């Protein structure tokens, strides 16, 4: 079993240029670094006297908060879609309901 190819990419975070080796595509790695750097810049702008490592920790927490909020929103949307699908299935004739249920169960696996 071969491991995925590693890419070497230069990224800029917090005014520091770093060399990153990753299995991720270089453009994606740069996009991730830019997102984190933007969060770090927002923290530094709000608290300019904050030590660099503390600003980095707060930026990490801010990005993690974004992730958790997005996951929660995605789960809520998925629940709503399931509820709407169940509601729509009740409107189908009985013969179609069984087929729709079987199709939905097949999609979940």
For 5-62, how does the pLDDT look when each residue is reduced to its tens digit (9 = 90+)? 899 999 999 999 999 999 999 999 999 999 999 999 999 999 999 999 999 999 999 9
CA 53 to chain centre: 24
Return the pLDDT at 104: 65
pLDDT tier at 109, thresholds 50, 70, 90: low
Task: Report the DSSP beta bridge partners of residue 22.
Answer: 7
> pLDDT by residue (tens digit) across 63-89?
999 999 999 999 999 999 999 988 988
Q: Where in the chain are the domains?
A: 7-108
CA distances, 86 to each of 3, 92, 107 (Å):
43, 10, 14
Looking at per-residue pLDDT, the higher value among 108 and 70 belongs to: 70
């Amino acid at each position: 079993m071969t491991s995925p190819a590693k890419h070497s990419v230069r990224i800029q975070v917090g005014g520091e240029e770093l060399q990153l080796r990753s299995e991720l595509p270089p453009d994606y790695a740069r996009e991730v670094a830019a997102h984190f750097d933007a969060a770090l810049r927002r923290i530094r702008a709000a608290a300019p006297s904050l030590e660099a490592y503390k600003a980095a920790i707060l930026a990490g927490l801010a990005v993690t908060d974004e992730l958790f909020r997005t996951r929660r929103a995605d789960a809520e949307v998925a629940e709503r879609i399931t509820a709407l699908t169940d509601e729509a299935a009740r409107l189908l004739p009985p013969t179609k309901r069984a087929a729709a249920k079987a199709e939905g169960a097949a999609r979940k696996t």
